[in-house]
Structures are given as structure tokens and as C-alpha cells.
Structure 1
Amino acid sequence: MNNEAVGTWEAADRKSSRRRAAPLRWPKLSASAWLLIAGIVALGIPTMLTVARVSWSTEQGGHGPLVLATGLWLMWREVPGALRLREAGNAWLGGGFVALCLLAYLVAHITGIIEVEGFAFYGALLGAGYLLFGGPVLRELWFPLFYLGFVFPPPDQAVAIITQPIKIAISEQAVNLLYALGYPIGSSGVSIQIAQYDLLVAAACAGLNSIISLTAICLFYIYVRHHANWRYSALLMLTIIPIAVFANFVRVILLILITYYFGDAAAQGFAHDFAGLVMFLISVLTIFAIDGLAAPLRRALGNGHDDD
């Protein structure tokens, strides 16, 4: 009798497992819904080609292909569960939002403002998602959708305004440190003088432009590894910007020393790119190290359970 009960329980468990593992079918959409999706995707193809050509080849936007690939992987992983919450969105609200985004897209496309064009296209895509699948689905997919926004370049002017004070502070501290170590170095306005060489602060601190890349990659790591522990994830996210600033400080020191010992040509050539790689590696390894050292805090914020 006991064996029979166990067998019954195991059969029920297998049936439940098959039900959980059953693939979720894509919901049936009307012809007008498919037309909306096809139209927005058709608009997005030239935009994405322009983004790839203009932004993805730069230090500031080089993370784009990686974000696109990992973001689509997140969507593939999480969409099936989210679609169980599907409900039609408000037609007036969603339709109005899509119309505004398409209008902004048209103006930006005509004027050649790729930053606005990219985000307007993405906004129209999100609006269409709201119309077809509803707000609960979008809320369930909030991180993949937010993360995919990093595919598109932010306005250069906004980035310059935000990062300029940080660049000046980094260059001043780098000069102070090397001067204290006995190097013949000084700074004047927008330039750094080391021996007979002059470096522009903007060029030396150009790595700060990749702060968006570092933020995107670190956010992906935190979400995939610790999203179940949101308190700890929030604290770890607060370290991203300081880590990026510290890594750029190391990059500036490295470029100055390369200039001093090997000349300006070396710093502006291969060594400049190598310094950028070092900055990226320092940032990623630093957040890994902080994450590892903060294991007790992670367990405390996770109610005694580690989410590794």
C-alpha cells in the first residue's frame, strides 16, 4: 500500500513536470497586429544599420552588438513565462504613444539625428508590445527591455556635459599622484605636460566615454547572477560608476607613463587601445572581486540564503 502511494505520487510529479516543461505556444495575433509589427520592424532595419555603422565602431558604443545578443537571449529566456500574463493594452494610450514615437522617428530620420531616431524606434516597438501583450507582460520583462535600450547611442552632447567635470577631476588627481612620485609633470587648463610632451585632457580621459559600456555589462552580470536578491543587486549597482571612474583613473596614469617612457606616438597608437582594454578588464574584475568579498552581505540581505 505504501509503495502504491509512492508510485502514485511519482506519477503525479512526472505529469506536473511535463506540464511545466510543455512549450508555451506563441499567442495568435490578428492580421492588423502582424501588420503593425512588420511595419515597425521595417522602419527599424535602416535605423539599426545606421546605429551599427555610426556607433558600434566607437569606444562609446562598442558594447552594442554584445548588448543586443545578450538582451535577445534574456528575452528568449523570460518571454515564455511573461506571456502568461498577456492582456490587451489600452488602445488609445498605446496607439497615441506609438504615433508620437513614429512622429519623432520621422523628424529624426529626416534631420539625421541618429540618437533620437534610435530611441524613437525603440519606443514605438515598446508601444506596440504594450498594445499587443499589455502592461503586465512589459513589467515582467522590465530588465531585458531596459537593458536593450543600451543598444542605442545616447546624445554625445549630453555625455560630454555629464563627464567633463569627472574628466577634469581625474586628470588633476593623476597629475598630483605622479608629481608626488617625482615625475616632471604638470597641468594647465585642458592639457597635461609630462617632460617634453603635451597630452590633451579630453584624449587622456576618452576612456570615460565607455562608462555606458561598462554600466551595461555590469548590469547584465548583476541581473543574471543576483536578480533574485534585489536588495543586494541594488547595492552592487551603486558601485558601477565609482568602479568605472577608478578604472579610467588607472587608464590615464598608464597613458601618461607610456608617453613619458615611450613617446607620444606609442601612447596614441597601439598602446592607447591597449589602455582601453586594461580599463575594461579592471572594471569587470573589480566588480567580480567586490561581489566575491561581499558574500556575507549577500547572504544577510538574502535572508541567509546565497543566490550563487
Structure 2
Amino acid sequence: MATSIISSEPSRNRAPSGPLWSPRAIVLALAVAIFAIPTMIFVIRVGWSGEEGAHGPIVLSTGLWLLWQQWRSSRSVVQPPSWPFVWIALAVLVPLTVFARITEIVEIEGYLMYASLIVVMYSLTGLAAIKRMWFPLVYLAFIFPPPDTIVYAVTIPMKMWLSKAAIGALAIMDYPIAGEGVRIYIGQYELLVAAACSGINSIISLSAISLFYIYMRHQAEWRYALLLVLLIVPVALAANFVRVIILILLTYHYGEAAAQGFLHNFAGILLFAVALVGIFLLDAILHPIFERLRTRRARGFYE
């Protein structure tokens, strides 16, 4: 009996064998990693330099940490991949990534490169491990800026709504304000609600950070987590509505230079922090109610 215990100990600590450590998989992983470095440099230089990508470093660091945590619990299900699928997928993704890099379409290039990395990860771990690590893999996709076509399609109705809401709110307070489309006229000033003020940047950044918070805190309660996710958009829109109101008032009372300088960026940062705190407060308020309702439902089921 003692001999069997001693002989079984090394197998408990031994790393999984098979596709994870095969020479072919290691060479493939190194090749794609080298291929991905220029894309990441491009994303950092272009996508993270503005307000729309300010959350990128936070998502990258927290996402890699979460991926490592999930990987530690997924090593037991490592299995051989389907190598024909790996080669076919890379044969499609790699040329498309090269084309996107040549044309300098950073949004498409980032997503194509990331898809290639997921294919390589699948070649190292198999499908079962990928399924266990689904959330960090989805979460890490937020490091790439969304395509401009999607941004334009989403921001146009948001800018229209914010313009009308701001004009209506200030008109009630007897400000000399009017508007046409996304243009706002107040006093002698003309303002344009840009994409940065439409809420799309706040929605993307707030969604990324809030998803991490919701997953870490409520991953076992998927219905409640879904409720918090659905609240991200209205919270971001409310915060940007306040931001537009502040910028209009700054322009009217202190001039265009005051509203477009430091205070413009500071208002965006401040309102993003307020929106994030708003998600935390909503969680603190709604979670006890959700737990109370679930307890009552459980009691009614067993009675």
C-alpha cells in the first residue's frame, strides 16, 4: 500500500502531456505570437491613444490574470485538437490579417489577429478547455476598438437623442437654446454633439470593466448578472446626458475655450467614474432584493 501511494504522487503533479507540449504546437504558438506583436503595437499606438481605448490596458492586465486563473482549473480537460480545422482556420485568418495590416484597418486587424490566437490556443488545449475559459477570452476582445462602421451606426441615434434631451432639459430652465439634428445652438454659440459625447465610448469602457466586476462577483448567478449587464447602457447614457448638459452650460457661461479645453476631458473622466460607481450602487441595492425574491420563491416551491 505504501508503495502505491509513493508511485502515484508524481502523476498528480505532472503537467498534462499530449498536444499541449508537442513540438508542432509549440512552434505554431511561437510563430503566431511573433506575428501578433506588430498588431498589438499598432493597436496600442492607434486604438489606445484616445478616449475610446483608455480602458485597453486595464482590460489586458485583468483579462490575462483571469485567463491564467481559468487555465489552472482547465488543465485537467486538455485534449487533442482537430488539426485539419486548425490549419484551415489559420490559412484563412492569417492572409486576412496581413491584408488588414497593409490597409491599416486597425479594428479588423486586431480582431483577426485575436481570432488566430484563439485558434492556436485551441490547438494547444482542445475544445473543452476553451469552453471553460470562454469569459476571459470574450472579455479580452474589448482591448480592440470596435469597427468604425458599427460606431457610426450606433452613435447617430444616440447623438440625436442626447441633443434633443439636453435641449428639452435646458429649455425648461429658460435657456436660449435650440437645435437641429446633432447641432445645438445656445446664445451666440453653436455646438456639435460628437461621437465622444454620444456615450459609445462610455458604453464600451463601462461594459468592459463592469463585466469583469459582475463576473468576479456574480458569476454563479447568471440571471442577476444579466440584469446588471442590461443596466450598463442606460447608466452610460444617463452619465453622458449629464456630460452634455455640463459642456453646454460651460460654453454658455464661460465661453467655448473653457468647454473645449481641460474641462471637456475632465468631465468625461469624472462622468465615467460616476457611471462606474452607479453600477456598484445599483448592485448594492438590487442584489439584496434579488436574494429576497429568490428566497421567497424557494420557500413557496417547498411549501
The correspondence for 1:44, drawn from 31, 36, 40, is: 36
Matched, 1:189 2:172: no
CA distance 1:155–1:171, change in 2 (3 Å): same
TM-score using structure 2 length: 0.89
1:88–1:130: 8 Å Cα contact kept in structure 2?
Answer: no
User: Which whole-Å CA distance do the structure 1 matches of 2:280 and 2:214 have between them?
Assistant: 10
- Deviating beyond 6 angstroms after TM superposition, the runs of 4 or more aligned structure 1 residues are none
Matched, 1:249 2:241: yes
RMSD: 2.0
The correspondence for 2:157, drawn from 165, 180, 183, is: 165
User: Which whole-Å CA distance do the structure 2 matches of 1:241 and 1:94 have between them?
Assistant: 37
**Structure 1 position 236, deviation (Å):** 1.0
Aligned residues: 285
**Structure 1 position 295, deviation (Å):** 2.2
**Structure 1 position 298, deviation (Å):** 3.4
TM-score using structure 1 length: 0.87
CA distance 1:26–1:192, change in 2 (3 Å): farther
User: Which structure has greater helix proportion?
Assistant: 2
Report what 1:6 is aligned to.
Answer: none
SS at 1:77 equivalent: helix
CA distance 1:301–1:124, change in 2 (3 Å): farther
User: Which whole-Å CA distance do the structure 2 matches of 1:118 and 1:204 have between them?
Assistant: 21
1:242 is matched by which residue type in structure 2?
Answer: P
Matched, 1:297 2:274: no
**Structure 1 position 88, deviation (Å):** 1.2
Alignment of 1:278-289 (within 5 A): 278-289=270-281
**Structure 1 position 283, deviation (Å):** 1.1
SS at 1:153 equivalent: coil
Report what 2:148 is aligned to.
Answer: 156
1:95–1:127: 8 Å Cα contact kept in structure 2?
Answer: no
The correspondence for 1:218, drawn from 199, 210, 225, is: 210
Alignment of 1:1-308 (within 5 A): 25=15, 27=17, 29-202=21-194, 205-300=197-292
1:174–1:249: 8 Å Cα contact kept in structure 2?
Answer: yes
CA distance 1:23–1:54, change in 2 (3 Å): farther
CA distance 1:302–1:47, change in 2 (3 Å): farther
Percent identity over the alignment is 45
2:238 is matched by which residue type in structure 1?
Answer: F
2:158–2:198: 8 Å Cα contact kept in structure 1?
Answer: no
1:46 is matched by which residue type in structure 2?
Answer: P
CA distance 1:128–1:203, change in 2 (3 Å): closer
1:124 is matched by which residue type in structure 2?
Answer: S
* 1:159-196 CA distance string (max 9 Å, x none): 11111101111111111000101111111233111111
Unmatched runs of 5 consecutive residues or more in structure 1: 1-14
